[in-house]
Structure 1
């Protein structure tokens, strides 16, 4: 993990100054948090991130991925430098899976350019989406994604059911031809779970992406067991409930029991809850802030909460 020591040292020094790790709300770290943060920073430099197998294959991918909605969509001179740092440190801290979409502004173009500029493109597991209703429009969009991101496209997903029935055959053909390695579908709303359940039961997909969090754990009831039964890899979006968890925890100290599963921030609290379900292949929070990226990535190291601890976590969040 080349260069990770200096990156991780900088991470802890900033965290002490900014207090981000305490609660994501400007609170100073408590002594136990600072001690755990220092310990985990040191260990992250020498220990591999948690990895999960893509069902039906021998391929393992890191459990912490990175999304791009709202983060890579637009570039300015200042944001470009921050995003280069985010990309470099994402890879240095063990990440590979980047999830994007043609609908996220210029995210595909920006990710492709930054990945090449920082010499990490070959290390990335690149996931993108299509959201067209005709075969030709889908193929045109796919070709544009290749132009922006480069090859290979590891995972191609149908975005939010758009053109799903018409375009599933197109995705299957692209996979058969070796143009993409894996195919799947995505959604981000709990109200879509009935349709997701139907699609997971009736289509041979490699990946499914949906929302799941300590605040909204509904996927535990049906979708996660179904994914396990059908051998479908799971990407989790909205692990922070679009940031609402930080509003709920603002001004609140992290409970001390979080140290029992190597957690020293509210961001990690949310992410470790998600990753503790072994059916989850990867979580994909988006950020354009290098400090937040480092904090997120630490969720992929160390211990994860067990069932009793996850119950306590839900109770903690519900009580805020």
Structure 2
């Protein structure tokens, strides 16, 4: 295993975990054709061998429900592999209407049901980090978190997290039982938590930030020049930031980051990952990939140190060139779909 692995503490009282983790979603959900299990297992094992042992999935990554978890379960059933990884999964979003739509639930009975299903899918005795994937705003969040507290007390989960929550929701849940991690989108084209008070709230409470989509769903790598570069069935084809004029305008951010990356002798993707990791010792990130060559490229970002001048230059670009378009398709955002 590489000697350049970065470890960060998961919240105030949590364990040390790999700061550069691995997001498994794209191996079986949302980003075009599903990868064959054998090839996916090769990528996952390579990630773990490289020290990316903080592995992220969700029961909704499919369809059908549990598909991505079961993919990981094929490896986790081996005790020697299980002992190497810190497995994170999420509940709360579920498919409706024969998998053509989604909805959310934080009802206690659903929380428990999905936890049991995830344990079975993953073939593990406990989940290391269990997130509420989206907040169910039709019920008090305390109802959800009292059930999560019970699951923790029963040893079914070790640590608890929440995803895409407001500062008020974070505080209410944390008052029931401690939150170790907030999973939220964060990258040079989505730096929102630095500006809306959420990062301040997490730092006040001692909650780690787990940044998903640190590469802007791949856009910030510069790999995509038009929407036609995306496979049929790829959910990004309906993402507002990948559409028409928005796509063209957003390439300005990629070009500006590429200019800074070229000066450093690295790729734009590596620059973005290094920038995310440089936000503080409370930041963890979970880029995903289907390809070994991109995994290697991501891992190399751990070796990159950005100077204060370089960070200031990136921040100036981020402040000057704002991403055009909503993060999600508004037609699906109401049901809190996807990531």
Normalised by the length of structure 1, the TM-score is 0.74
Alpha-carbon distance change, 166 to 73 in structure 1, aligned in 2, over 3 angstroms: same
Alignment equivalent of 2:85, drawn from 124, 142, 151: 124
Take 2:28 and 2:80, find their aligned partners in 1: how far apart are those partners?
Answer: 17
C-alpha distance after superposition, 1:60-99 (max 9, x if no partner): 1111111122323499996223212211111111111111
Take 1:166 and 1:243, find their aligned partners in 2: how far apart are those partners?
Answer: 36
Q: Does 2:5 match 1:49?
A: yes
Q: Is the 8 A contact 2:261 2:271 kept in 1?
A: no
How many angstroms does 1:152 deviate by?
2.7
Take 2:79 and 2:126, find their aligned partners in 1: how far apart are those partners?
Answer: 17
Alpha-carbon distance change, 103 to 316 in structure 1, aligned in 2, over 3 angstroms: same
- Supply the RMSD in Å over aligned alpha carbons: 2.8
Take 1:209 and 1:292, find their aligned partners in 2: how far apart are those partners?
Answer: 23
- Can you give the 5+ residue segments of structure 2 that lack an aligned partner in the other structure? 93-104, 225-250, 323-339
Q: Does 2:147 match 1:147?
A: no
> What secondary structure does 2:298 align onto?
helix
How many angstroms does 1:179 deviate by?
1.7
Take 2:185 and 2:268, find their aligned partners in 1: how far apart are those partners?
Answer: 18
- Can you give the 5+ residue segments of structure 1 that lack an aligned partner in the other structure? 2-44, 188-194
Alignment equivalent of 2:149, drawn from 152, 168, 172: 172
Alignment equivalent of 1:136, drawn from 109, 117, 124: 109
Normalised by the length of structure 2, the TM-score is 0.70
Relative to its length, the structure with more helix (as a share) is 1
144-153 or 70-79, which deviates more = 70-79
The equivalent of 2:42 in structure 1 is 85
The equivalent of 2:270 in structure 1 is 268
Alignment equivalent of 1:220, drawn from 187, 191, 194: 194
Asked which structure has the greater RCO (Cα within 8 Å, sep 6+), the reply is: 1
Take 1:308 and 1:135, find their aligned partners in 2: how far apart are those partners?
Answer: 49
Residues 1-320 of structure 1 mapped to structure 2, 5 A cutoff? 1=1, 45=2, 47-57=3-13, 59-73=15-29, 79-105=36-62, 106-116=67-77, 120-131=81-92, 132-149=105-122, 150-162=124-136, 164-187=141-164, 196-202=166-172, 203=174, 204-221=178-195, 222-245=197-220, 246=222, 247=224, 248=251, 249=254, 255-259=261-265, 264-299=266-301, 301-316=302-317
How many angstroms does 1:104 deviate by?
0.4
> What secondary structure does 1:161 align onto?
coil
52-61 or 168-177, which deviates more = 52-61
How many angstroms does 1:319 deviate by?
6.3
How many angstroms does 1:199 deviate by?
2.1
Alpha-carbon distance change, 116 to 250 in structure 1, aligned in 2, over 3 angstroms: farther
Alpha-carbon distance change, 118 to 55 in structure 1, aligned in 2, over 3 angstroms: closer
Alpha-carbon distance change, 177 to 128 in structure 1, aligned in 2, over 3 angstroms: same
